[in-house]
Structure 1
Amino acid sequence: MATTAPKHGVREAAAHGAHTAQPDAAPMSHRQIMEALSGLLLGMFVAILSSTIVTNALPHIVTSLHGSQSAYTWVVTASLLAMTVTTPLWGKLADLTSKKLLVQIALIIYVLGSAAAGLSQNTSTLIGFRVVQGVGVGGLSALAQIVMAAMISPRERGRYSGYLGATFAIATVGGPLIGGVITDTSWLGWRWCFYVGVPFAIIALIVLQKTLHLPTVKRDVKVDWTGAFFLAAAVSLLMVWVTFAGINYNWISWQTWTMVGGAVLLGLIFVLIESKVNEPLVPLRLFRNKTITLTSIASLFVGVGMFSGTVFLSQYFQLARDKSPTMSGVMTIPLIGGLFIASTVSGQIITRTGRWKAFLVSGSVLLTAGLGLLGTIRYDTVYWHTAIFMALVGLGIGMMMQNLVLAAQNQVQAHELGAASSLVTFFRSLGGAVGVSALGAVLSNRITHYMKDGMAGLGVTSTGSSDSVPDLSTLTAPVRKVVEGAYGHGVADVFLYAAPLALIAFFIVLFIKEVALRSSSGLEQAATAAATADAPAVGQQPAPEPELVSVGATSVADRRAETVLQPVAAYASVGGGTPTLPGGTEIRGQVRNSDGTGVAHATLTLISLTGRQLGRATTRSGGGYSLEAPGSGSYVLIAAADGHQPQAATVVVGDEPVPYDVVLSGTNGLAGVVVSAADTLPIGDAVVVVTDIRGEVITTSKTADSGAFSFEELPPGDFTLAVNAAGFRPTALPVEVAGTGTTRIEIALRAGAQLQGTIRAGADRRPLADARVTLVDAAGNVVGTATTGSDGAYAFTDLDAGEYSLVASGYPPAATALTVGGHGTNGFDMELNHPEG
């Protein structure tokens, strides 16, 4: 008989002070993930559609509502501002309460804001309702990344991020086209640009209710509303300044000093609040992690290029090239096509290889080049030139947008996925909001300048308010040519201003360290943390994840350093060591690597020749240190740092300060833990093999009972790590050993079930030789074939748990359904009947 796979149960766990109902942390199948993501992707489609559908309609909308160029900018900026301010709020709530409920609330807010925006009678009310829309869109944008991180491991997430990027591209390409068609259709009108997304949102609500099932966190929610207020006030004041500077007042004026100073003051108050509250809106401790800090800053500059491309290109095509809203959407397809291709292909490649930094570097180069080339366009530039420039921008954004979030998510534990994801999304939205506002002010200023020059050439000295958005159909041919030229040149200047910001993003991503992507999802990590809290391991602990953000006041790296330095502290205190003695002679210098760079957080201990501790210091960020000897004489200076060989040297001290630099040599190593993908329990006696890029075996080892393994003194470079264990499917993955320190990795093995049995035939049920046995999975794919021997036996190995069909032939073929359990051997015998006659 076939064994029946047990259904996944539910266990209650307590982690990080929250009571959570969590399912067993078995990896979800592709089908399960796609079902769960269906409603989420539809909600994301609605969010992006609402942002892009008005892009090509905006010139017509603002003209219809008698708005100005500033109002044009604020219709876009108001939504981006609301997205920016509320993104951290949504992220914090996602770490505290039901993610599914939050997605549904965000959709409802979006529906209400969209319906109200369609009823607007002037630009002021339209801007207000766009704020409501932005609150909902901010939730959908942030929560999509957070839910994906909870369900899918970073290693696999690139593939599904590609689907998210594809959804983004389809909505981005479809939005302007739909908006253009609606605007050009007289019996619909531009108001339907806001109504059209409502039915999609309602469908998404229904689909989400049926398909998205995540553990619900039962925890008291403490939202930092005060921090949210000061953040909104700081960003809003800054955007008001850049919007009107150079138009209503000079860039250097008392208004500028007042607004910029006020924004800085409000920002400092926000930082102070965040450092004091228990549940900060933006956890400042995340910035202790270098990767999260760099990805956030890079996202800030990517947001400028991303939103400026979609907002200002529609003005270029409609007001500089006299195209209809529909054709304006068609002509921006190269931008979205590049984004679609880059996000999808990069996601697939990252899933296969685990390498992501190359896409960030390449994307920043393409984005910089594309924006710089768009800075050369004019109203009469050949379209295919503009199309290539737009494609470069799209490729750059597609390579960077999702992968910056992925890099940040890979650095944090499960309970901080929401905060880290929303932090990167927040900075991207902030860059877009401030960028669009600032560049919109630049555009207004440049258009005014070019219009005056053009009109002067026609002999006209006064043109009225140049801040209003013109209707080209009402202008005479000479004046229209001047307006087209002014908008063509002005929009190009906007991209020319944006290009250096993309270049800054390029330099930032160069400093991001590539860390191997984890193979466990957020839910699996949460289950591991819960299991650890319920039953603390005894003996050796699993190796920590690489580059984890600090928890509490002490980071993982700091704790590792303390572990390394414990023997030194014990030795130094043998003689009754005391802290640094005051009033002595200073010893100062720098602790450096062999390449000359400073080593931060290295510990230096000064001892007497008899072993008594006299002083202790820790190096600063640049590797500098300073400590005091009690007086003239000879002393021993010991230096140690995580990932380096400790050094000891004799230092002779006189009456003057003594300069003394220490050079530490690095150590390379590879360590990690092997766990079961189904329950994250450690796997002992697993064989771990390290091979180089040529396939040569470098070294092998077996895991301890705790699942831990380690290799010392490996040369830096790229290796392949192969792991196999009894009862599990073997796996191999690439790993890069850094130049100094120990590279740490977690490997999850999936259970490899076996199916075996005997094929019998005839009334006497004797074993049937040479029978062909085929195993087919639930999707209809042939898993394997086997031919029975003289004993009628067959076997299949390395199977996933699930439903299968077993087909046997040799006599009239027969088929039967069976269920394979997730682990061990499943037995299934099958009987065939002789043909009659």
Structure 2
Amino acid sequence: MNDRPTPTPTAPGRAALPRLGVFGLMLGIFLANLDGQIVSTALPTIVGDLGGLEHFSWSVTAYLLTMAAATPLWGKLGDLYGRKGAYSSSVVVFLVGTVLCGLAQNMGQLIAFRALQGIGAGGLMVGALSVIGVLVPPQERGRIQSMVGVMLPISFVGGPLLGGFITDCLDWRWTFYVNVPIGLVALLAVAKGVRLPAQRVTGRVDYLGAALLTSGILALTLLAGWAGSTYAWTSWQIAALAVVVVASLAWFVRVERRAPEPITPPRLFTSREFTLAQVLSFLVGAVLVSVINYLPQYMQFVQGATPTVSGMLILPLMLGMLAAQLTTGRLMDRGGLDRIVPLTGGVVTVVGALLLLLLGTDTPVAAASALTLAVGIGVGILMQSTLLSTMNNAAPRDMGAATGTVTLVRTIGGSLGVAVLGAVHSSRMGDVLAERLGSDAEQRLTSGGELTPALLEDLSDQVRHTVEDAVSSGLHGVVVGAAVLSVLTFATAWFIRPAPAADPADAAPTAPGGAPGKDSVRTSPAD
């Protein structure tokens, strides 16, 4: 028996958004992805310039952490008070954080401003997807997601290239400033091109739930990054963080069950397929963010690539992910592949992660670049299938919360993945440096700001070769962790139940928001 919600397609006369509105929504998704791609290739230079290689992972984690915490809040704000307004507000917050990142003078400021930037980024993806999810019937969502894929080649493919080029020819600060004109265009396009009836659902935003969720995510990320490295597992700091995690998340669940308008409605998880999609999203987020943030470091330190070239060297990963997303959307439109597609993605991701173990100090540049293709294909398949499964198993009134949830868990996965595997990377790298060069040299290189791709050439051959071995060892630790997560992804996909193909009769026009049910809805002329 199919327990999915009855599809609620668009009303007559609103089968498609105006082109300008579509452009503005897609540009927000593009902006969220562009920032990560541009900054990833510039991070080794940024961290080296500001000092503190040990803070490398936290410059990523701060962004992902606040993005994760803010995502469901933006989704619920859109559900209650208007999706267009919530989306536009998130763009503004993102741009403010972006400008401040470009002005950062030390790592502490950069991490803080990246956190602010992440708050805004949490609403970019969920804002666009929630509008699309309400207006487009399930049978057409694969095609629309393919349109999203068409909008992303510049961010996936050109982002690393642009980030490297800006770092080489201008200054790393412009990797942030370049977002500003794009964000302004997105704001104008949405303001002029999106016209939605503004549904106002009576009720208040669950701020207590949001605060508890944020506290739980923050404590969990700190615990994952500090346990066993900064502090011993048995230390009082780790014990205190564990208590905060358990208490915050347990209280959060209790609050969500009683709140009139919960941040993450528990009713969403009554669907087995929805729940499994969130588990898959969490795992694939951890794999993607961990791999994509440490491959450029390997390419620059070990392969001797400039930031621009390092972006080019991971193009196979980006192109593989893009092609997989485009193909997966089309395949899942046909129905009946809900289980086969994520299983296939799991297998390909496992193989791709294991292939990355071949990366070493003597790996030819062309081979190192080509080895990233498989993991990109596998991640692309899993990302697209989990998103479509989430949207297809959520009622229209919960579309903002549902898309916020899938983005949330993927971002939490990425944040925890970078924290945990980043700690593994730093530990393995530090061990190699300390063993061959001594602890003083290891501290000077990793904490004193001396270890940057540009300065590596000025070091002696012995030190340079040691650094290359250390970076390779650290990457292998990350890759092993990614392989384990990929195996768990494949195992989880086995529990998905195949769904019957969509019935064309389900596409009969109905109101875009569905029946109001118990909620009191007030509609104003425009959102």
Does the alignment reach a TM-score above 0.5? Answer: yes
Match of 1:680 in 2: none
Residue 342 (structure 1) aligned to one of 301, 308, 324 = 324
C-alpha displacement of 1:167: 2.8
Residue 446 (structure 2) aligned to one of 455, 458, 467 = 467
Residues 527 and 418 from structure 1, CA distance in 2 versus in 1: closer, same or farther, beyond 3 angstroms?
A: closer
1:56 lines up with 2:41 in the alignment: yes
C-alpha displacement of 1:217: 0.7
C-alpha displacement of 1:323: 1.2
**Deviation digits for residues 496-515 of structure 1, max 9, x if unmatched?**
11211111111112211232
Residue 415 (structure 2) aligned to one of 433, 437, 447 = 433
C-alpha displacement of 1:350: 2.6
Task: Write the letter of the residue equivalent to 1:255.
Answer: Q
Task: Write the letter of the residue equivalent to 2:376.
Answer: G
Higher relative contact order, chain-length normalized (CA < 8 Å, sep 6+): 2
Residues 420 and 518 from structure 1, CA distance in 2 versus in 1: closer, same or farther, beyond 3 angstroms?
A: farther
1:175 lines up with 2:154 in the alignment: no
1:25 lines up with 2:44 in the alignment: no
Judging by fraction of residues, say which structure has more helix. Answer: 2
Q: In the aligned structure 2, how far is the partner of 1:462 from the partner of 1:39? A: 50
Residues 314 and 521 from structure 1, CA distance in 2 versus in 1: closer, same or farther, beyond 3 angstroms?
A: farther
**Deviation digits for residues 740-798 of structure 1, max 9, x if unmatched?**
xxxxxxxxxxxxxxxxxxxxxxxxxxxxxxxxxxxxxxxxxxxxxxxxxxxxxxxxxxx
What is the SS of the residue equivalent to 1:513?
coil
Match of 2:429 in 1: 447
Match of 2:252 in 1: 270
* Preserved CA contact (<8 Å) 2:338 2:497: no
**Deviation digits for residues 562-608 of structure 1, max 9, x if unmatched?**
xxxxxxxxxxxxxxxxxxxxxxxxxxxxxxxxxxxxxxxxxxxxxxx
Match of 1:199 in 2: 181
- Unaligned stretches of 5+ residues in structure 1: 1-21, 535-837
Task: Write the letter of the residue equivalent to 2:250.
Answer: L
Amino-acid identity (%): 35
| 1:173-252 to 2 correspondences below 5 Å | 173-185=157-169, 188-252=170-234
Residue 266 (structure 2) aligned to one of 259, 284, 291 = 284
Q: In the aligned structure 2, how far is the partner of 1:231 from the partner of 1:438? A: 20
| 1:769-780 to 2 correspondences below 5 Å | none
C-alpha displacement of 1:531: 10
Q: In the aligned structure 2, how far is the partner of 1:125 from the partner of 1:512? A: 44
1:67 lines up with 2:46 in the alignment: no
Corresponding pairs, count? 506
Match of 1:494 in 2: 478
**Deviation digits for residues 176-228 of structure 1, max 9, x if unmatched?**
2111111111xx31111110010011011111122222221123451111111
Task: Write the letter of the residue equivalent to 1:426.
Answer: L
| 1:532-681 to 2 correspondences below 5 Å | none
Task: Write the letter of the residue equivalent to 2:87.
Answer: V
Match of 1:310 in 2: 292
**Deviation digits for residues 356-412 of structure 1, max 9, x if unmatched?**
432211111111211122133212223344334311111111111122121122122
Task: Write the letter of the residue equivalent to 1:423.
Answer: T
Q: In the aligned structure 2, how far is the partner of 1:213 from the partner of 1:381? A: 54
Residues 96 and 386 from structure 1, CA distance in 2 versus in 1: closer, same or farther, beyond 3 angstroms?
A: same
Residue 341 (structure 2) aligned to one of 324, 334, 359 = 359
Task: Write the letter of the residue equivalent to 1:343.
Answer: Q
Residues 280 and 395 from structure 1, CA distance in 2 versus in 1: closer, same or farther, beyond 3 angstroms?
A: same
Match of 1:117 in 2: 101
C-alpha displacement of 1:517: 4.3
- Unaligned stretches of 5+ residues in structure 2: 1-7, 521-527
Task: Write the letter of the residue equivalent to 1:490.
Answer: G
1:93 lines up with 2:72 in the alignment: no
What is the SS of the residue equivalent to 2:98?
helix
**Deviation digits for residues 606-634 of structure 1, max 9, x if unmatched?**
xxxxxxxxxxxxxxxxxxxxxxxxxxxxx
Match of 1:509 in 2: 493
* Preserved CA contact (<8 Å) 2:161 2:312: yes
Task: Write the letter of the residue equivalent to 2:486.
Answer: A
Task: Write the letter of the residue equivalent to 2:51.
Answer: H
C-alpha displacement of 1:311: 0.7
Q: In the aligned structure 2, how far is the partner of 1:290 from the partner of 1:91? A: 22
Which 4+ stretches in 1 moved above 4 angstroms? Answer: 27-30, 32-35, 517-523, 530-534
Using structure 1 for the length normalisation, give the TM-score: 0.58
Match of 1:137 in 2: 121
Q: Quote the RMSD (CA, aligned, Å).
A: 2.5
Judging by fraction of residues, say which structure has more strand. Answer: 1
Task: Write the letter of the residue equivalent to 1:387.
Answer: S
Q: In the aligned structure 2, how far is the partner of 1:296 from the partner of 1:52? A: 24
What is the SS of the residue equivalent to 2:417?
helix
Match of 2:387 in 1: 405
**Deviation digits for residues 440-471 of structure 1, max 9, x if unmatched?**
11111010112223337xxx985434533612
Q: In the aligned structure 2, how far is the partner of 1:522 from the partner of 1:110? A: 39
Match of 2:136 in 1: 152
C-alpha displacement of 1:523: 8.7
C-alpha displacement of 1:257: 2.3
**Deviation digits for residues 500-554 of structure 1, max 9, x if unmatched?**
11111111122112324476689945465259999xxxxxxxxxxxxxxxxxxxx
Q: In the aligned structure 2, how far is the partner of 1:167 from the partner of 1:33? A: 16
Q: Greater Rg, structure 1 or structure 2?
A: 1
1:258 lines up with 2:244 in the alignment: no
Q: In the aligned structure 1, how far is the partner of 2:174 from the partner of 2:283? A: 33
Residues 347 and 269 from structure 1, CA distance in 2 versus in 1: closer, same or farther, beyond 3 angstroms?
A: same
Match of 1:623 in 2: none
Residues 211 and 406 from structure 1, CA distance in 2 versus in 1: closer, same or farther, beyond 3 angstroms?
A: same
Q: In the aligned structure 2, how far is the partner of 1:237 from the partner of 1:58? A: 25
Task: Write the letter of the residue equivalent to 1:59.
Answer: P
Q: In the aligned structure 1, how far is the partner of 2:385 from the partner of 2:18? A: 19
Using structure 2 for the length normalisation, give the TM-score: 0.90
